[in-house]
Amino acid sequence: MNNENIIHIDAKDFFLVEPSEIYAEQISEYRQEFLDADSSMDGCGPLRRCENPIEYIAECKKYKNKETIPNDFVVTTQFLYVRKSDMRIVGMIQVRHYFNDWLSEFGGHIGYAIRPTERRKGYAVSMLKAILPYCKELGLEKILISCIDGNIGSEKTILKNGGVYESTVCEPDRKRNLKRFWITL
Ligand SMILES: CC(C)(COP(=O)(O)OP(=O)(O)OC[C@H]1O[C@@H](n2cnc3c(N)ncnc32)[C@H](O)[C@@H]1OP(=O)(O)O)[C@@H](O)C(=O)NCCC(=O)NCCS
C-alpha cells in the first residue's frame, strides 16, 4: 500500500487516498460500473471522459496544482474511499478549495458518489464524515454542499453530517433545483 497520500483512516475499515497508479485497474472497474448502471459520477472529477485511468490520475494531479488547473476551474483534491479488507474503491469524493461563480451558487465545496453495488450501507455518510477534518485543515470554516432536490440519499447524507438547509436555487443551464446546505466545521 502506498501510504504517502493517505489522509484519513476511519475508525472502521476505510481510508481516503488520492488516486495513484496502484489503483489504476480499480479505477477502470469503478468507472465501468457507473457507465453500466447509467449512474451519475458526482465528485469523480474527469472520470467520465478519461477511459484511460492513467490519464485520469494525471488529470487529478493537474487539478490539484494552481499552476496547472484549466481556466475557470479551482484547485480541487480528489480522493478514493477504499475499503481496507479487500482494497476495493467504494466511493469517490472531491474537495474544491475555494469558489468560482458557479461553485458558490450551485456546485459547493464537495461532490461525492458511492459505486452502485455498494450503496445503502452507510458509506456515503461515513465518507463525508471522513473528509471533514481535511476541509478544516485547508482552512475552511464551513462548507457548502448542494444536492438535487429529490436526491433523498444525498440529502440524508448531508443532514447526518450536521448539514443545515439554507435555500433552494434553480440551475438555469440544466434546469434543475438544487438544495444548498452548510456544514460548520
Ligand atoms: C447519494 C449516494 C451518494 C448515497 O450513497 P449511499 O452510500 O447509498 O448512502 P448511505 O448508505 O450512506 O445512506 C444515507 C442515508 O440515505 C438513505 N438513502 C440512500 N440512498 C437512498 C435512496 N436511493 N432513497 C432513499 N433513501 C436513501 C439511507 O437509507 C440513509 O438513511 P438512513 O440512515 O435514515 O437509513 C449514492 O446514491 C450515489 O452515489 N448516487 C449518485 C451520485 C450522487 O447523487 N451523489 C451526490 C451528489 S450531491
Asked if residues 50 and 27 have their Cβ atoms less than 8 Å apart, the reply is: no
pLDDT at 119 > cutoff 60: yes
Q: Which of 4-8, 90-94, 127-131 has the lowest mean pLDDT?
A: 4-8
What residues does ligand 1 touch, defined as CB less than 6 Å away?
39-40, 42, 111-114, 119-125, 147, 151-154, 156-157
Q: What is the mean pLDDT of the chain?
A: 94
6-139 maps to CATH 3.40.630.30: yes
Asked if residues 130 and 10 have their Cβ atoms less than 8 Å apart, the reply is: yes
What is each CA distance from 16 to 53, 80, 165, 166, 175, in whole angstroms?
18, 6, 27, 28, 33
Pocket test of ligand 1: the residue of 47, 112, 114, 178 to mutate, having most ligand atoms within 8 Å of its CB, is 114
Provide the Cα torsion 56, 59, 63, 64; round to 10°: 80
Percentage of the chain lying above the pLDDT 90 cut: 89
